[in-house]
Structure 1
Amino acid sequence: MAPYESDGSTHAGEAEDVRDGRRTAARYVVPAAVVGVAAATIGLVPAFAGSGDPDLPKISAQQLIEKIAKSDVQQMSGTVKISTDLGLPNLGGLENSLTSGALSQGAGGKGGSAADPSAKLLELASGTHTVRVAADGQDKQKVSLLEKAAEYSVIRNGDQVWAYDSASNEAYHSTGAGDHKGAKAAPEDVPATPKDLAEQALKAAGKTTSVTVDGTAQVAGRDAYKLLIRPKQSGTTVGAISIAVDAKTGLPLKFTLTPASGGAAVVDAGFTQVSFSRPAASTFTFTPPKGTKVTQGDDLKDEGAARSHGTEKSAHGDGKAARGSEKAAPGAEPKTIGEGWNTIVVLDSGSKGGLPTDAKSKDGASKDGASKDGAVAGFLGSLGDHVKGKFGSGTVFSTRLVNALITDDGRVYAGAVTKDALVKAADAGK
């Protein structure tokens, strides 16, 4: 073993809260942690190259995990660099159009805001971004996404949440009223710091995982231990996860996920500067600049709830319509098969026939001789690999981490597993 390495595999005597958390989240959290949402080789040495190798007391993997769990940093500020490389194909600007459309609609539909955090922070799912973070206890946080000529910030101060997009000069405001958990500075499913990513990855660690201490490093001028997480199973697309843990505070300073196929990291998020001093109070105050278009998120939620209630009332008013809708709906909840890193989510999309690639729609050819539906489906089909098996046939869409099989009978199999694993799962499901 390396000087700081221990077996680190989970045992029956581990802390109950850590073990229970892993079992609960293992099925879903691995893909979520890297949509997210997050080393250049399996050895992970290049991730810390030239950053020093401080001499720290020996520590076991379990002790380091407990150190992370007990970390209670209340005041801090810093700059985080996040790089995500899922290996998605170049869509010629289409992805930018889709993103801008989603941002303009926001979470509230036509009345939404370009500053709505639920859409804006999804930009962290691709490319390289610089994020500034600050916190002063549980009630004051700020996350700022720095762009070339603009800045986007989400500020929480008590039950007040403001989001401001300088590019569009739009602001989004909401409160924590009616929510016993209070407001958050960012959507829960968008990990924006190494700590967010590390917590999700550690929850997924179980008997299918090797957890070891892999030496030391310096990150953002801080001495740190390196926690190395590797799947014991074959068939997963995850190669390894490295987490640099601050030796003094237990705060994760850097998170790096390497795919089993090798090459550049899929997710590399780390502090380039960090301070544990209390940020200035002005950091968490916000007043919309003159001329800013302000959208009240609470009003959008009320409108959405009213529309939902009206739809529900209408459905209940017509028993036949309600029963017909239930019958037409696909499988309500996805199920999972496999365990640990080989977990696959299975759902029924309700769309039979898979991805049609013919040039005609159901109503025949369009004026130019080809249907738009057929053209779009053909384009999507060209991005995937057509596969056959006992289940029939379908198309596999692949990234460097998460793959998905859409069968011609409308089922979807997805997970951080290989194409062969998806086909095998579909065959077993027949």
Structure 2
Amino acid sequence: MPRNEPTEGTDGWDGGRSPGRRKAVRYGVPVAVAGVAAATIGLVPAFAGSGSPDLPKISAQDLIAKVAKSDVQQLSGTVRVSTDLGLPSLPGAGAGGFGGAEGGGKGGDGASAAPQNKLMELASGAHTLRVAADGPEKQRVSIVDKAAEYSLVHNGNEVWAYDSGSNTAVHSTAPDGGRHGKQHRAPKDLPGGLKDATPQELAKQALKAAGDTTSVTVDGTAKVAGRDAYQLLIKPKQAASTVGSIRVAVDAANGVPLKFTLTPKSGGAAAVEVGYTNVDFAKPAASTFSFTPPKGAKVVDGDKARAKTPREHGKDTPSHKDVKAFKKDMGGLNVLGKGWTSIATIKGGGSGLPSGKDQGAGGDAGKFLDSIGEKVHGSFGSGRVFSTRLVNALITDHGTVYVGAVDKQALIDAANAAK
């Protein structure tokens, strides 16, 4: 039996008052990548090995400090990403999303190779990617599908994105922050949703939420990617949260988070699970970060494309004045509550969703919305609640939106209180 039992905790832990809190969680592996691949689970082994390693006891504070002090700069391995948020199927999100049969026609302008166009695929399904990092200047992710492969390569001042399905490559210049020993910043081409999909970054965001609304404990040990790991268990104390728990497997030797699992309060399979299935902390070969477009590939200059777009479409780009006017019309974006039960609100302009009682096209839309959203009532009036396994949203008939990782009643209570 492992000596580390779930007895050492920080129930009500406030993040710690040591330098570890000020540093938050400094992750040394700057793998700015994300999982955007078709289901290829059979290519990799299971996450955890059999049995739990026998490791010395460690408190939650000390384990978090270990993560914060971790300064691993080099690694290579395979990451598996599984997402089950309970979202409806998205049109065009099936096979071919790499720009193959369905997306190949867009490859000429580099759309199929743009990292931004991979974000929607993260919303559901299982994805496999291979990652490598060698300090702040060199990272690579290859996202593997049965029929195609998508690669993002950062090497010094160069960033390449390549989609084999459309045989299209986009070449861009990396920001200065990724060169000359300066602190690493993700290339501009990499959307936030992509760079935050590693176990390290997800764990960092989860630990930021740790405060008086959170219980943080060490819950035993595990084998992940063949390595001994402690399991950090993070649980919201607020009853209205839809998050059941977050479990982070931390490498016992170097403090690198190896696996991140978010389970909804409703139970069942994990809503989000991201973890290494194999990992090596040796220096990757220099050739790993070299990229030459294949013969016949369409090469797009990403820098020129970005510079060209504002000149051609500047009239369509909202000005600062337009943005301020929009925020005023919408009543602004406000956040109610704190911690796990924070609710974002956007006030509408008095026109909400169509009702099933409406006639004509609006009536058709209303009937469809009635079929996927639950009609609710309160002192605020009425509206519809749209639900996933984690995030719920209330849209009132007056057009105000309340959204958060909270249950339906919390949204109704927020709307009633704001009346």
TM range (shorter): 0.7 to 0.9
Structure 1 position 122, deviation (Å): 3.6
Q: Does 1:14 align with 2:17?
A: yes
Name stretches of at least 5 consecutive residues in structure 2 with no aligned partner. Answer: 26-33, 37-45, 179-183
Report the secondary structure of 2:335's partner residue. strand
Q: For the structure 1 residues 351 and 304, does the alpha-carbon distance in structure 2 shift closer, same or farther, using more than 3 Å as the test? A: farther
Distance (Å, rounded) in 2 between the aligned partners of 1:346 and 1:208: 21
1:100-158, Cα deviation, whole Å (9 max, x unpaired): 89x9699x999551110112144122101111111001110011211111111111111
1:379 aligns with 2:368: yes
Compared CA separation, residues 178 and 72, structure 1 to 2 (3 A): closer
1:59 aligned to 2:58?
Answer: yes
Q: Name the CA shift for 1:327/1:127 in 2 (closer, same or farther; >3 Å).
A: closer
Is 1:240–1:259's contact at 8 Å kept on the other side of the alignment? Answer: yes
**Which of 134, 137, 141 is 1:136 aligned to?**
134
Deviations 1:318-343 (A, max 9, x none): xxxx7899379633741100111000
Is residue 228 of structure 1 aligned with residue 233 of structure 2? Answer: yes
Match for residue 168 of structure 2? 170
State the TM-score, normalized to the length of structure 2: 0.82
How far apart in 1 are the matches of 2:354 and 2:148?
Answer: 39
Instruction: Tell me whether 1:392 sits opposite 2:394 in the alignment.
Output: no
Deviation at 1:383, TM superposition (A): 1.0
Distance 1:124 1:336 in 2: 26
Residue 262 (structure 1) aligned with residue 291 (structure 2)? no
| CA RMSD of superposed structures (Å) | 3.5
Unaligned runs of 5+ in 1: 23-34, 38-46, 317-321, 366-370
Provide the rounded CA distance (Å) in 2 between the counterparts of 1:255 and 1:328.
Answer: 36
Residue type of the alignment partner of 1:187 = P
| Separation (CA, whole Å) in 2 of partners of 1:293 and 1:324 | 36
What SS does the corresponding residue of 2:212 show, helix, strand or coil? coil
Residue 306 of structure 1 deviates from its aligned partner by: 2.7
Does the residue aligned with 2:292 lie in a helix, a strand or coil?
coil
CA distance in 2, matches of 1:68, 1:87: 31
The yes-or-no answer on 1:415 pairing with 2:404 is: yes
SS at match of 1:114: helix
* Structure 2: distance between partners of 1:375 and 1:228: 46
1:49-88 counterparts in 2 under 5 A? Answer: 51-88=50-87
Cα displacement string for residues 170-200 of structure 1 (whole angstroms, at most 9, x for unaligned residues): 1122112577865538423323321121111
Is residue 2:236 matched to residue 1:237?
no
What number of residue pairs does the alignment pair up?
A: 390
Which of 115, 118, 123 pairs up with 1:117?
A: 115
Instruction: Look up the match of 1:202.
Output: 207
Aligned amino acid, residue 6 of structure 1: E
3-state SS of paired residue (1:118)? helix
> Residue 192 of structure 2: which of 184, 188, 193 is its match?
188
TM (norm. structure 1) is 0.80
C-alpha distance in 2 between matches for 1:404 and 1:170 = 38
Aligned-partner Cα distance in 2 for 1:131–1:293: 23
Letter in 2 for 1:14: R
Query: Which segment drifts farther, 1-10 or 224-233?
Result: 1-10
Describe the shift of the 1:50–1:87 C-alpha distance in structure 2 as closer, same or farther (beyond 3 A).
same
SS of 2:117 mapped into structure 1: helix
Q: Which amino acid aligns with 1:340?
A: G
Q: Deviations over 1:350-374 (max 9, x none)?
A: 47132344564xxxx5xxxxx3x55
Q: Is the 8 A contact 1:355 1:381 kept in 2?
A: no
Given that residues 113 and 295 in structure 1 are in contact (C-alpha distance below 8 angstroms), is that contact kept between their aligned partners in structure 2? Answer: no
